[in-house]
Amino acid sequence: MRWKCLCVASLLAALLPAGMARAESPRQVLVLYENNRLLPANVEGDRGLNRVIAGFGSPVEVSAEFLDYPRFGGEDYVRTISTYLREKYHEHPPAVVVAGGNGALAFLLRNRQELFPGAPLVHMGVDKPFIDGLKLPGDAYGVPVRYDPAGTVAQALRWHPRATRLVVITGAAPPDRAWVPLLQQELEPFKGRVDGIDFWSGLTTHEVMERLAALGADTVIFTPGYFMDGAGKTFTPREAAALIAGAATAPVYGPYNTFIGTGVVGGRVPTFEAMGETAGRIVNHLLEGRAVATLGLPLAMPTTLSVDWRQIKRWGIKESDVPGDALVQFRSPGLWDQYRYQALSVLAVVMLQSMLVAILLIERRRRRMAELSVDKHRFELAHASRLAVAGELTASIAHEINQPLGAILSNVAAASLILESGAMQPEELRQILEDIRRDDVRASDVIRQLRKLFEKHEVERTAVDLNEAAVEMAIVLRAEAKRRRVELVVREASGDVGVIGDRIQIQQVLINLVLNAMDAVAEQREGQRIVTVAVTKADDTAAVEVSDTGHGIREEDRAKLFDSFFSTKAAGIGLGLSIVRTLVESHGGRVWAENRAGGGAVFRVELPAAQGIRRLEVA
C-alpha cells in the first residue's frame, strides 16, 4: 500500500505543470459585499468578478464575505465582524481586497490597515457621488458607478408622452434616504415637462400599495427600491421594486438592471456583471504587480438602456421607439423567432410537398394526355385497320352491291320489254317493281352496314350482345366467304351474351379473326375450308372462339402471333391480330391462340361479362 501511494504521488508530481508545482499556496482575494449574499446585484457582480479572475494565469482563491447591511449595523456589529474577519483571514491573508458597494468600501477604508495590512483595495458598485465625497488612498482602485435617474426618466417621458406626473418612491433605510437629495437634484430639469414630481419617501409598503392603486395612467414612476419601508420591514431593493411594479397602474422605472424582470419597464442602468468584470480586471492587474493606470479605466461605469420586452409591450411602447442599442430582455420571441428553424423546416417540407403534389398533378395530367393520345392513336390505328379490311373486302363488297344493282337493271329492262310489247301484264309489272324496291333496299343495307363499320366513330361503352356482333360480322363477311369459297359457320350461345364495350371495335375483333381464319384455310381444298365462330358464356366471362380447318400455328410463331408487323403471310402487314389484342385488352379482356386437336387453329377471346347490366335489365 505504502509503495503504491508513493508511486501515485511521485507520478502526480511529475505530471503537474512546473509553475503549479512551485506555487505552494494559491493567491488569496477577498471580496467584501455590503449587503447580503442573495442580493441580485451581488450575485451578478460576483459572477463577473469570478469569471475574469478565473482567467488569471495561476491559481487564485476568491473568498466572499457579506456585511449584510442594512439589516445589521452598529458599532458592535462592525467590531464583531472585524474581529471575525481578522481571525478568519489571519492564516491566509488576502493579496487584494475588493469592496462591493458603498458600505463595504467605507468599512474597508476604515479597517483595512488593521485587518489586511498591505493589501491593495479595489472597489466595485460604488456610487460616483459617494466616491467623490471620499478621500481615497493611493492603493485603492475602481470605477465608480454613476446611476442615471435623469436619463432613465427622460427616456420614460419620451415613451409616455402623455404622462403629466412623476412619482419617485424611496425607502426608510439610510441608503434609501440617501437617494432623495440625489434624485431631487437629478430630476429638477423635468419640473417643466411634468405637472408635478411627487416624492414618496419612507412610506410603509402598505401605504405605497394603496397610493399606487389610486394612480392614473398619466403617471410615470421612478424608484430605486428600498431596503426598508416606513414600517421598518426590510427588503432588497429588487423585492421592493417588484412589489411596486406589481401594484402600479403606471409604468415603473428604476436605476438598476437587476430590476429587469420584476415588472419594471427598465432604465438607463449600469450592469453589475460589468462592474464585477471591471473589478476582476483590476484585481488581475494587481496580482501581476502591474500598474492599474495601464488599464485605461473609464471615470464611471457606462450605462445602457435596459428594458423588459414584456413591459414595452404592456405599455404600448412602439418597437421602433426602442433604440437599437438597448439591451432588451425577456423578449418573448414570436413563433418565428422561437421556432425559426423548425418553422423553416416545416415550410420547406410543406413547399416540397406542394411541389411534389404539383409535379404529381402535372405528371398525372401528362399521363392522362398521353393516355388520351394513346387512345387516339389506338383509335386511329383501329380505324385504319378497318379501312384496310375494307380494301381487302372490295371484291366481295362490289359483288354484294352489284348483285342487286344487276337485278334492278335486268328488271327495268324486262319491264320495258313488257311495256313495249303492249301486252297488259299489270301483275307481272307490279312484281317487277316490288323486286326492284327489294333489291334497292338490299344494296343500301349493304352500304349502310359497311359505313357503320368503316366510318370514324366515337368510341362508346354500351352493352353489346356477342351473339348479335357475331351475326352482324357474318353479314359483312358473307360475300367474302363466298368469294373465297369458305364455309362460315356462326354458332350463337343461347340467350344474351352481354359485354360492355364498343360495338364497332368488337365487330372489328371478330372480323379480323375471321379474315385471319379465312387466310388460314385458303390452301385447303374447297369444302375443307371451314371457319366456325362460336359464342359461349361462363359465369363472369363472355367468349368467342374462331376456329379454322387450316394448317394451325407453328410453335415458333405462337409467341409473336399478336405482335405488330408479324405476319406469316406473303401479303400481310401483320396488324390484324395486333389490333385484335389491342382492342380486346382495351375492353379488359384477353385473346390467345391454340392449335386444335383435329388440326387447324382456334383463337379465343374472353371479355368480362356485363353482369350488372344484365341484372339491371332483369330487374
Partner 1 sequence: MITKPMVHVIDDDESLRTALLRLLNGSGFEATGYRSTGDFLLRHPPDRHGCVLLDIRMPGGPSGLELNAVLKEQGIHLPVVFMTGHADVASSVAAMKGGAVDYLEKPIAPQALLDAIGRALARDAAARGARQERAELKTAFASLSQRERQVFDLIVEGKLNKQIAAALGVAERTVKAQRASVLAKLGVSSVAELGRLAERLRSLGDGRQ
Stretch that binds partner 1, among 88-96, 280-288, 411-419, 566-574 (CB under 8 A): 411-419
H helix or E strand, kind and range, residue 601: strand 601-608
Least distance in angstroms from the C-beta of 530 to partner 1: 13
Residue 460's alpha-carbon distances to 214, 329, 449, 504, 513, in angstroms, are: 88, 74, 18, 9, 21
Least distance in angstroms from the C-beta of 565 to partner 1: 27
In b/e form, how buried is each residue of 278-293, taking b as 16+ CB within 10 angstroms? bbbbbbbbbbeeeebe
CA dihedral 201, 206, 209, 215 (to 10 degrees): -70
CA dihedral 510, 512, 517, 518 (to 10 degrees): 110
Report whether 202 contacts 177 (CB < 8 A).
yes
Pinpoint the alpha helices (H) of 163-221: 174-187, 205-214
Query: In the stretch 256-275, what mask flags binding to partner 1 with x, by CB under 8 A?
Result: --------------------
432 is an interface residue for partner 1 by CB under 8 A: yes
586 is an interface residue for partner 1 by CB under 8 A: no
What are the phi and psi torsion angles at 540 (to 5°)?
A: -120, 10
Stretch that binds partner 1, among 12-20, 130-138, 417-425, 578-586 (CB under 8 A): 417-425
The residues near 23 (Cβ < 8 Å, ≥ 6 apart) are: 58, 59
CA angle 211, 215, 220 (to 5 degrees): 110
Least distance in angstroms from the C-beta of 397 to partner 1: 9
591 is an interface residue for partner 1 by CB under 8 A: no
Kindly give the interhelix angle for 503-521 and 426-454, rounded to the nearest 10 degrees: 100
From 349, 398, 424, 447, residue interacting with partner 1 (rule: CB under 8 A): 398
From 205, 411, 524, 549, residue interacting with partner 1 (rule: CB under 8 A): 411
Pinpoint the alpha helices (H) of 455-502: 466-483
Site for partner 1 in 457-496 (CB under 8 A): 482-483, 485
Least distance in angstroms from the C-beta of 412 to partner 1: 8
Residue 566's alpha-carbon distances to 508, 574, 583, in angstroms, are: 19, 5, 17
Site for partner 1 in 378-397 (CB under 8 A): 394-396
Least distance in angstroms from the C-beta of 485 to partner 1: 6
402 is an interface residue for partner 1 by CB under 8 A: yes
Least distance in angstroms from the C-beta of 384 to partner 1: 23
Strand partners, 252: 221
429 is an interface residue for partner 1 by CB under 8 A: no
From 36, 403, 568, 586, residue interacting with partner 1 (rule: CB under 8 A): 403
Closest CA to 486 of 578, 373, 600: 600
Closer of 81 and 476 to partner 1 (Cβ): 476
Sequence length of the chain is: 619
405 is an interface residue for partner 1 by CB under 8 A: yes
Least distance in angstroms from the C-beta of 481 to partner 1: 9
551 is an interface residue for partner 1 by CB under 8 A: no
From 326, 418, 493, 522, residue interacting with partner 1 (rule: CB under 8 A): 418
Cis-peptide into 70, omega within 30 deg? yes
442 is an interface residue for partner 1 by CB under 8 A: yes
Closer of 169 and 432 to partner 1 (Cβ): 432
Stretch that binds partner 1, among 279-287, 399-407, 511-519, 560-568 (CB under 8 A): 399-407
Stretch that binds partner 1, among 50-58, 146-154, 303-311, 408-416 (CB under 8 A): 408-416
Give the SS3 label for residue 449: helix
Give the chain's radius of gyration (CA, Å): 56
From 178, 414, 493, 522, residue interacting with partner 1 (rule: CB under 8 A): 414
H helix or E strand, kind and range, residue 508: helix 503-521
404 is an interface residue for partner 1 by CB under 8 A: yes
Q: Provide the pairing of β-strand 304-308 with 266-269.
A: antiparallel
From 177, 211, 399, 604, residue interacting with partner 1 (rule: CB under 8 A): 399
438 is an interface residue for partner 1 by CB under 8 A: yes
Least distance in angstroms from the C-beta of 419 to partner 1: 10
Stretch that binds partner 1, among 51-59, 116-124, 415-423, 566-574 (CB under 8 A): 415-423
From 217, 347, 412, 433, residue interacting with partner 1 (rule: CB under 8 A): 412
Q: Tell me which amino acid residue 103 is.
A: G
Binding interface with partner 1 (CB under 8 A): 394-396, 398-399, 402-414, 417-418, 421, 432, 435, 438-439, 442, 482-483, 485
